[in-house]
Amino acid sequence: MPLIRSLTSGASSLRTHQRKMEIISNNIANVSTVGFKGASVTFSDQFSQSINFGSQPNRTGLIGGRNPFQIGLGVQVGSIRQDFSQGSINSTTSTTDVALQGDGFFSLRYNGQDVVSRAGSFAFDSNGNFIDTATGAFVQGYNMRTDANGKVIRDDIGENVLDRVSTNLKLSPSFKSGPRQTQNVSFVGNLDIRAATGDVRTASIQIIDNQGTSRLLDLTFTKTATPGEYGLTGSISGFDIASLPGFGPIQFNADGTLGTPLNFSVPAADLNTALGAGSTAFDAVTPKDVTITLSSLTDAQSGLTQFAGATTVTGREQDGYPNGNLARVQIDPTGKILGSFDNGQTEILGQLVITKFPNSSGLVKNGNNFFAASPNSGAPTLGTALEIFPSTSVIGSALEESNVDLTEQFTEMISTQRAFEAAARTITVSDQFLQEINQLKR
């Protein structure tokens, strides 16, 4: 019966608009879900029954062509599309919370499966694993490279080297910043030109040995009978350094600036000898000798001077530091996890991996704010923010909010409700038609 078509068309409209309402309801329900990405529905018409395929114009020109005669059989869901537009980014008080600005996803491993997410509510657990706080999923990234003894490997400038293999990010709760032996020391100040022969002045500075122990380095300046000349000796922790007199005396120029030497090196082996008893406190194998700078060629008055005035010579700075305990962590725009230690140092402890797909809309939702690859998402590409992926950056102490627009969702809800009502009305009217037909026999 032809009226059945109008009933089935109306029923298909009810079904599809019900599906759309389900999507709208889910979007609204997740308006406060961190990293949530809304979805939208597109409709397509169902197969049309062809009553007549039409005809071309008559060759005689007496009859024109006729169009096909088709009756549609209703509507169906064409697709459900994910909206991966950027959500607003809000600051938080947690230094391990992160948000992504731009394309891409955080990479995680959950129950042995690789998943991705835009929700960056992360933290370290009691074992030092960097995890998703909602599920315990392991955040993926690059850890520090270590040698056979488990010691962190550092590059030429002293920064921790990352092992560029994506794995579970982990940081031992007891991790410490290792000590750095002092290799450069500088002294500044004035030696009074009016000082009498035999006048002695001592300048001190604390330096760090290879084991992280603080040692007092003293330089002793003794005025000689020669104008502008001082004898120089030194000691480490109160023990005389035998090699230092070989670098003296020091000679000032007539204008009060230092002439020679501007700097000199103290062998690490000589420091160990001064400490005695077979000391290996200073690394004499590499070796890491200590360079002492007294003045500079480019800025002579910033170092030692000999002017008429108070004697103020003192140690200014050194580049060593003791071991330190981790005080706090923060995450920079490239996704590097930076640790601040109580010895004043900041070290790279790891780096977040960012994952991108050729077709993000092809990802499969897995719940818990997770997505997984599908045949149509394409193969994942791993990289790092701003380095491999210049258009993507990581925002620390922040979370990306849901990208659902409530105004748009309420508008869609109203139009969906009216379309549902209209479809229900076509079923009601078709039923009245059938009722009238059934009454024709009376």
Crossing angle (nearest 10°) for helices 406-438 and 3-29: 160
The confidence score (pLDDT) of residue 160 equals: 92
Structural domain count of the chain: 3
What is the sign, positive or negative, of the torsion defined by CA atoms of 119, 123, 129, 134?
negative
pTM: predicted TM-score of the whole model, two decimal places: 0.81
The confidence score (pLDDT) of residue 441 equals: 65
Q: Which helix (H) or strand (E) holds 247?
A: none
Q: DSSP for 130-186?
A: EEETTT-PEEEEEEBPB-TTSPBPB-TTSPBPB--S-EE-B--TT-EEPPB---EEE
Residue 273 in any domain: the answer is: yes
The confidence score (pLDDT) of residue 74 equals: 77
What CA–CA distance (Å, rounded) separates 354 from 101? 12
The confidence score (pLDDT) of residue 69 equals: 72
Tell me the H-state helices in 211-267: none
What CA–CA distance (Å, rounded) separates 73 from 5? 6
The confidence score (pLDDT) of residue 22 equals: 93
Do 188 and 311 lie in one domain? The reply is yes
Do 161 and 99 lie in one domain? The reply is yes
Do 302 and 215 lie in one domain? The reply is yes
Do 221 and 193 lie in one domain? The reply is yes
Do 195 and 306 lie in one domain? The reply is yes
Do 410 and 395 lie in one domain? The reply is no
The residues with which 101 forms a beta bridge, in sequence order, are 393
Residue 216 in any domain: the answer is: yes
Of 146, 139, 148, nearest to 167 by C-alpha is 139
| Domain span at 79 | 3-50+69-84+405-438
What CA–CA distance (Å, rounded) separates 149 from 400? 40
Helix (H, G, I), strand (E, B) or coil at 88: coil
Do 233 and 274 lie in one domain? The reply is yes
The confidence score (pLDDT) of residue 44 equals: 84
Helix (H, G, I), strand (E, B) or coil at 116: strand
Q: Is the peptide bond before 249 cis (omega within 30 degrees of 0)?
A: yes
Residue 429 in any domain: the answer is: yes
What CA–CA distance (Å, rounded) separates 308 from 303? 16
Asked whether 151 and 159 are in contact (CB, 8 A), the reply is no
The confidence score (pLDDT) of residue 37 equals: 94
Q: DSSP for 3-23?
A: HHHHHHHHHHHHHHHHHHHHH
pLDDT tens digits for the chain (442 residues)?
A: 566 777 788 788 889 989 999 999 999 999 999 999 999 998 888 776 667 777 777 777 678 777 777 777 778 888 889 999 999 999 999 999 999 999 999 999 999 999 999 999 999 999 999 999 999 999 999 999 998 888 889 888 878 999 999 999 999 888 999 899 999 999 999 999 999 999 999 999 999 999 999 999 999 999 999 999 999 999 999 999 987 666 678 999 999 999 989 999 999 999 999 998 889 999 999 888 999 999 987 887 788 999 999 999 999 999 999 999 999 999 999 999 999 999 999 999 999 999 999 999 999 999 999 999 999 999 999 999 999 999 999 999 999 999 999 999 999 999 999 988 988 888 888 878 888 777 776 6
